Chain A
Amino acid sequence: MLADTRFFTFASPPRFYALAGRLIPWLWAATALLAIAGLYVGFFQAPTDATQGDAYRIIFIHVPAAWMSMLLYMVMAFWAAIGWAFNARLAAMVARAIAPTGAMFTFAALWSGALWGKPTWGTWWVWDARLTSELILLFLYLGYMALVNAIDDTRRADQAGALLAVIGSVNVPIIYFSVKWWNTLHQGATISATTAPKMVATMLTAMLLMTLACWAYAFAVVFTRTRAVIAERERDAKWLNGAVPS
């Protein structure tokens, strides 16, 4: 049981470890169900687009990936900052666990965007504000991962990573608002919190279902990776304490 006194080094990580362990299977189930539903609506219910033909269906992975890339960065920066401000080890571990998945979604957004852009805009890439800042976001994720891995002292690494993550978070509003500030190639927002979406209902449904699927997926993977980090640090702590022979 987790009331074992050897785990005195961590306060809440063991509780998180147990809770996450119970939730992860449900999260994977949710991911699968939402993905199947989203893909079904997207490919078998949403009609063909008048201007873009069936190429537009890339939207069902492109937009969720882009949203996740921005959301995960803010969440990562948030937890990293909490970990720094309150010396909360678990928060710092969660931040580290988020980074690879966030980077993956950023790459997915860029990749799917390029494959969508080629048939519709005629070009794989353009250096407009949104694409450039999304690319910078990928560099920020990679930079964060490189920095925390390069510093051996975990506490210092977490703190330096938190500082970097917070500084980089100024990029996320730029990505989001860039299509409003600069009238360039990338299309403007189709979905807004205040006005009615300019999109067919089935397309919107599919996009939202896929977004929820990506969210559930992100939870599942980030929880798994956090458990890995907890187990790694527990192992390292035991080494230091000499309580368990290697």
Chain B
Amino acid sequence: MTAPVFSAVLVRDLRLAARRRVDALLPLAFFAVAVSLFPLGVGPEPNTLRQIAPGVLWVCALLAAMLSVTQLFATDQADGSLEQMMLAAGSGTASALPVAIAKAVAHWLLTGLPLVLIAPLFGVMFDLSGRSIGALCASLALGTPILSLLGSLGAALTLGVRNGGVLLILLIVPLCIPALIFGSGAVSAVESGTSARGHFSLLGALFIATALLAPLATAAALRIATE
């Protein structure tokens, strides 16, 4: 019962995104613009840029993920398809799990994964070394799923609420802070020559914990929002 729901929701989201390619690319455009602001605002000094790069890239990825997640459930709720999905899934919190997971996976495939892929380009813009860029991609590869999972939780909690987008950011960003700290810390460590193993271990642990707990919470939030 769960596999058909999961794949149905996932494929639907991807198909809808394919039809509105511009909308799907907006978070990436935001990322590009936001990241580019920093060299302009802070000055082009390579040493400064190299120092701030991990933080800047990570924060902009975080914000891009949060901005794109606000609409995760809203459009479906507006046209009634969310209710259909929940009905198809069944009753009770656990039955909404496939919907929650599928939505988070779809968001990651559409926003997180592209961010991981275009990050090297911006790493070069900030004069990061090759190893640092590798660490950047690795940390984003582990971190963006965390952002998608937490973001989908926020979207479910604030579904249909006035100023839901801003509220979502207010609620979810504090929860994302550990991922931000360890993710950007890993890149900084590699850039300064020290080992990033501790950072990656903690980031990995965060990923596992979030992957296990967030979908359940999102499913509960969906039930609360659609009852």
- Taking Cβ atoms with an 8 Å cutoff, the residues of A that contact B are 132, 136, 139-140, 142-143, 146-147, 150-151, 156, 159-160, 163-164, 167-168
Contacts and interface: CB of A to CB of B under 8 A. Distances in A.
Interface in B155-209: 157-158, 161-164, 167, 170-171, 173-175, 177, 181
B175 A160 contact: no
Interface centre among B164, B174, B220, B221 (most CB of A within 10 A): B174
A143 B173 CA distance: 10
Given A136-B174, A150-B158, A167-B217, 8 more contacts: A139-B174, A143-B171, A160-B221, A160-B224, A163-B217, A164-B157, A164-B171, A167-B175
Contacts of A136: 174, 177
20 contacts: A132-B177, A132-B181, A136-B177, A139-B170, A139-B173, A143-B167, A143-B170, A143-B174, A147-B158, A147-B161, A147-B167, A150-B167, A156-B227, A160-B224, A160-B225, A163-B157, A163-B217, A164-B171, A167-B175, A168-B174
B157 A147 contact: yes
Shortest Cβ-Cβ A-B pairs, 10 listed: A139-B174, A143-B171, A159-B224, A150-B161, A136-B174, A160-B157, A143-B170, A160-B224, A150-B167, A151-B161
Contact of B162 (A143, A150, A156): A150
Nearest to A139: B174
Contacts of A147: 157-158, 161, 167, 171
Nearest to B174: A139
A168 to B, nearest CB: 7
Contact of B221 (A139, A142, A143, A163): A163
A168 B48 CA distance: 35
A168 B175 contact: yes
Q: Majority SS of interface residues in chain A?
A: helix
B224 A163 contact: yes
A146 B221 contact: no
Contacts of B171: 143, 146-147, 164
Contacts of A132: 177, 181
B215 to A, nearest CB: 13
Contact of B167 (A139, A140, A146, A167): A146
Nearest to B223: A159
A156 B175 contact: no
Contacts of B153: 167
Nearest to A151: B161
A244 to B, nearest CB: 29
A156 B167 contact: no
Contacts of A146: 167, 170-171
A140 B174 contact: yes
B156 to A, nearest CB: 9
Nearest to A158: B224
A147 B175 CA distance: 15
Nearest to A129: B181
Nearest to B171: A143
B34 to A, nearest CB: 21
Instruction: Output the residue of B161, B173, B227 with the most chain A CB within 10 A.
Output: B161
Contacts of A156: 224-225, 227
Contacts of B167: 143, 146-147, 150
Nearest to B150: A167
Contacts of B221: 160, 163
A163 B171 CA distance: 12
B70 to A, nearest CB: 13
Contacts of B217: 163, 167
A162 to B, nearest CB: 9
B158 to A, nearest CB: 7
A131 to B, nearest CB: 12
A142 B162 CA distance: 16
A146 B169 CA distance: 11
A159 B93 CA distance: 13
A151 B163 CA distance: 10
Give the most central of B164, B173, B177, B181: most A CB within 10 Å: B177
